[in-house]
Amino acid sequence: MKILVIDDERAIRNSLKEILKDEGYEVDTAEDGAEGLAMAEKDKYNIIFCDIKMPNMDGIEFLDKISAEGTDAAVVMISGHGDIETAVECIKKGAFDFIQKPLDLNRILITIKNATEKVSLVKETRILKKRVYGQQMVGESDPINAIRDIVSKVAATDARVLITGPNGSGKELVARSLHEQSTRSAMPYVEVNCAAIPSELIESELFGHEKGSFTSAIKQHKGKFEQADGGTLFLDEIGDMSLAAQAKVLRVLQEKKLSRVGSDKDIEVNVRVVAATNKDLMKEIAEGNFREDLYHRLSVIIIKVPSLDERKSDIPLLIDYFVKQICTESGMPEKKFSPAAVKALQEKSWPGNIRELKNVVERLLILGDQTVSAQNVRDYVSQ
């Protein structure tokens, strides 16, 4: 556990350092915000105690700058001139806690304990996010690099994105990447598989419902749009959405407000919508199955995800990635794939795309030799 103490009073920072070192913590000190910021940029601290009134750079400015950099450290503000307004301002700017001078040892130790739990929770959340968002766009082929380039340009905007491509090609990974690289990344990311929800329930699922609005509505329910407020809503397989639901989605996109089923009250929402489909929406429009006005609302940016057959040069990288992922998650020892096995997999057709390749890699890890061979591929993978 590393702690940084920033205070312009030498006596305070030295005494706090000695006290915390006696408690078993590793402690560094800085005499103002500028020095503290430079140290925090070079080293990773779990907790930072920072005085507010200091020369060169005061505590509020330090807090602004380090919060903007996205630190994992819990920042605890300390001041001999504390008042409620200052404390509230510090907390709003991202401080973990506010302690008034003279410093009380018990209060400091309790704050450290609570801050340690907070830092651990942040790390656990990041690990969980890696599991949820952990699948990533793997590959160095021209089509994948082109997608990365588009995502890097579009993510920071609120432009709506329509992702097209065959089943199993990784459209949802593009959507997650857009969210993770956006300014909304700290807010909810909500997925809806429009093809998996019965048409009679899709409106309730998307927009919510009031208690008693239909037979099974035993309590009020917030829909996916409300759940994603401030963040990103990913509408997967939007080509399977009913025309009635399409009309309501269009209204939300136009007016940024919705009404729950069974209510005439408008609720404002701030949601970035990313949609995906494996269908030819222009064909669906011509056949009367999809609204043209909704298509134009959704397709400000269009990203086409290639099939695996269009990017077979990425298969060796994908195999390595899936071997590590599967073995880590299942606890099985890693195996290697021989060059001949990799070549055999590259020569295969992949109608199921990335999803199919992952299943095949897992099968070969379970059934194949210690070094997976081309013969293993012939034995256990259908052509």
Beta-carbon count within 10 A of 120 CB: 11
Same domain, 160 and 205: yes
Amino acid at residue number 267: I
CATH of the domain at 119: 3.40.50.2300
CB-based burial, 264-289: b 16+ in 10 Å, e otherwise: eeebebebbbbbbbbeebeebbeeeb
285 and 365 part of one domain: no
Q: By three-state DSSP, how is residue 350 classified?
A: coil
Identify the pLDDT of residue 135: 56
User: What is the per-residue pLDDT for 208?
Assistant: 84
Measured between alpha carbons, how far is 314 from 116 in angstroms, rounded to an integer? 42
pLDDT per residue, tens digit, the chain (383 aa), is 889 999 998 988 899 899 899 888 999 999 999 999 999 888 888 899 999 888 888 888 999 888 877 777 889 998 877 677 888 888 888 888 888 888 888 889 999 988 888 777 766 655 554 444 345 788 999 999 999 999 999 999 999 999 999 999 999 999 999 999 998 988 999 999 988 888 778 888 888 888 877 766 777 788 899 899 999 999 999 999 989 889 989 999 999 888 888 778 888 889 999 999 999 999 999 999 999 999 999 999 999 999 999 999 999 999 999 999 899 888 888 899 999 999 999 999 999 999 999 999 999 999 999 999 999 999 999 86
Token pair listed for 42: 């070079």
- Domain membership of residue 137 (yes or no) is no
Both 313 and 290 in one domain: the answer is no
In this structure, is residue 334 part of a structural domain? yes
**Residue 122's domain spans which residues?**
2-132
Q: Domain of 321: which CATH number? A: 1.10.8.60
Q: CA Rg, the chain, in Å?
A: 27
How many whole angstroms separate alpha carbon 364 and alpha carbon 358? 10
Q: What is the pLDDT of residue 341?
A: 96
In-domain check, residue 74: yes
Number of domains within the chain: 3
Question: Is 237 in the same domain as 271?
Answer: yes
Is the residue at 104 inside a domain? Answer: yes
